Amino acid sequence: MLKSIVIYYSQTGNTKKIAQAIHEGITQAGANSDIARLRDVAPQDLENYDLIGLGSPVIHHRELPNVTKFIYSMKSLDGKHSFAFCTHGALPGYYFARVVPAMSQMGLTVIGWKNWFTRVFHPFIPKPYYTDGHPDEIDLKEARDFGKAMVERSRNIYMGETGLIPTLPRGREYDKIYRPVSPDSYEETSIFSKLEAQVQFKVNKEKCKYPRCTHCIDSCPMGAIDLSGTEPIFSKSCDVCWLCWQTCPRGAIEVGDLEALEKAHKLLITLLLKKSIETFEARGSFRRLIPEEEIGYDNIFCRTPTPRFKIDG
Ligand SMILES: Cc1cc2nc3c(=O)[nH]c(=O)nc-3n(C[C@H](O)[C@H](O)[C@H](O)COP(=O)(O)O)c2cc1C
């Protein structure tokens, strides 16, 4: 019997839900399927699997470095079948352009990939947001169907059928599908990314309850936080995913100039996110559940008190 595993990284539960539905679909197709969080899997344990699925959110137009690191540690899996999946807001970006070739480079045969538009808790987005309400039942059904399709394709390829391995579109063809807004809009809004890259988190020692609380240390995908010394350290591997800042139970993690970030992000909303989501909607690849008049342009998410959500990974 075909043996499969679905591995996922998730912060707010979207990728976890999609992963669970893919896993269900795989089981329904009669394959033996496991499901596991990225942090619980050692790449050397994957040798017994015939089909390996890997999924995560799109963060900063790509995968987070914990996912990249995991892929590059997947050695000795030559010829095994794999698939990639991701969840995201308005900008799927370079996710598949990076992850699919990286998996192939490790010797895996990538037999499919699929993305889902899902709700977002990015600090500077309006709330409600364009993609809120997803994943819904229709998305989950699509995920189950994708799981089934991956099993069927994998079986057929192992049985010797040729011509079933898809090729990821490249360059302009890729951009047409996953980055449909003109490159100028990315250029004009790059000020936000520049400011974000310079963000330095600080710990308010009066609010922080370390060592009784190690929430930020335990949940940081990059293992970038060290509070054991006299001065808290956020190492260079911090990818500014904002998870610690958004979920600290006591709001003890602080940043400097929030207003500059908010202002720069407003430009990004109008020039990039809105255009992008409208393009996907017009193409029929995104189903809007929140009407435009309900988008909370005056209600920026970071104004909500912390913790802003519970980690669900
Ligand atoms: C810091 C941060 C950066 C993000 N960057 C992107 C992005 O570049 N493109 C996009 O479409 N969504 C982006 N998102 C939204 C997430 O990809 C989306 O909410 C995803 O479903 C979260 O998955 P999870 O619930 O499994 O953690 C970002 C979210 C955060 C918090």
210 located within any domain: yes
297 located within any domain: no
Distance 56 CA to ligand 1 centre (A): 9
Cβ atoms 20, 116 nearer than 8 A: no
Question: Which of residues 255, 271, 296 is at a domain's end?
Answer: 255
307 located within any domain: no
Q: Quick one: 172 and 207 in the same domain?
A: no
Cβ atoms 241, 162 nearer than 8 A: no
193 located within any domain: no
Structural domain range at position 40:
3-178
pLDDT digits (tens, 9 = 90+) for 205-245: 999 999 999 999 999 999 999 999 999 999 999 999 999 99
Separation between Cα atoms, residue 241 and residue 12, nearest integer Å: 12
Q: Quick one: 174 and 233 in the same domain?
A: no
Beta carbon of 274 within 6 Å of any ligand 1 atom: no
Enumerate the β-bridge partners of residue 54: 7, 84
The predicted structure's pLDDT at residue 234: 96
295 located within any domain: no
pLDDT digits (tens, 9 = 90+) for 145-171: 999 999 999 999 999 999 999 999 999
282 located within any domain: no
Question: What is the overall mean pLDDT for the chain?
Answer: 96
Q: Quick one: 32 and 83 in the same domain?
A: yes
Number of domains in the chain: 2
CATH value at residue 93 = 3.40.50.360
CA separation, residue 299 to residues 197, 220, 234, 311 (Å): 24, 27, 29, 22
Atom of ligand 1 nearest to the CA of 240: 1
Pairing of the two strands 51-57 and 81-88: parallel
Atom of ligand 1 nearest to the CA of 89: 11
pLDDT digits (tens, 9 = 90+) for 45-100: 999 999 999 999 999 999 999 999 999 999 889 999 999 999 999 999 999 999 99
**Residue whose pair of structure tokens reads 């920026």 in the numeric block:** 300
Distance 121 CA to ligand 1 centre (A): 7
Q: 221: which 2 tokens?
A: 């995908």
Q: Quick one: 30 and 98 in the same domain?
A: yes
Q: Quick one: 149 and 212 in the same domain?
A: no
Beta carbon of 61 within 6 Å of any ligand 1 atom: yes
Walk across the sheet containing 3-8 and list its strands: 32-37, 3-8, 51-57, 81-88, 109-117
Separation between Cα atoms, residue 123 and residue 138, nearest integer Å: 27
Beta carbon of 276 within 6 Å of any ligand 1 atom: no
195 located within any domain: no
Cβ atoms 19, 147 nearer than 8 A: no
Q: Is 199 helix (H, G, I), strand (E, B) or coil?
A: coil
CATH value at residue 223 = 3.30.70.20
Q: Quick one: 135 and 72 in the same domain?
A: yes
Separation between Cα atoms, residue 95 and residue 273, nearest integer Å: 16
Beta carbon of 120 within 6 Å of any ligand 1 atom: yes
Question: Which of residues 255, 270, 296 is at a domain's end?
Answer: 255
Q: To test the ligand 1 pocket, which listed residue (58, 243, 286) has its Cβ within 8 A of the most ligand atoms?
A: 58
Atom of ligand 1 nearest to the CA of 241: 1
271 located within any domain: no
